[in-house]
Amino acid sequence: MPFSFVERERRSFEEPVSLIRDFLDQLRNLLGNIVRETVETFDFRPDLGPERELIDAALRDTDERGFFERTSGGINEANLVDTGLTGVSLSAKFGVLEALSGQMRSGLRKALKYILDMVNAIVGSIKTALGPAGAVADAIAELKDMIKAKIEIANGW
């Protein structure tokens, strides 16, 4: 399943930093699986067309430059409260991601579109929370946008 969070409700109040880091790790895996493998039973690689190699190169570059790690590392110093990244707001965001992931697991291919839309909102909140250091989150969002655009066009979404 693309997203699943152990003890999501408790962690959103007591350990929001670890929950957000968990999200970033799962996002990294999801994007890698879309580009290089499968997600649940769906193979999105053909949807990426001839640009799949370019997107894979961008994914490698994102990894090599440590954008996920740097974003995750900055969470300790971030303003999580004012950006809706704690408590009920955080639990709701990740709860919707889990629900959409469940729909994908049950065979709804188009759920990926909505998963990536939610990811965009959450990464935007993380970027805002990080302040000037949030520029690294832009690279993650841009990679996600490249993948999403190709899949939406290929599927007529």
156 and 118 in contact (C-beta within 8 Å)? no
Give the pLDDT of residue 23.
Answer: 98
pLDDT tens string 119-155? 999 999 999 999 988 899 999 999 999 999 999 999 9
Q: Which of the 8 DSSP states describes residue 83? A: G
Q: Which residue has the tokens 């959103």?
A: 12
pLDDT tens, position by position, 95-114: 999 999 999 989 999 999 99
Q: How far apart are CA 82 and CA 43, in angstroms?
A: 38
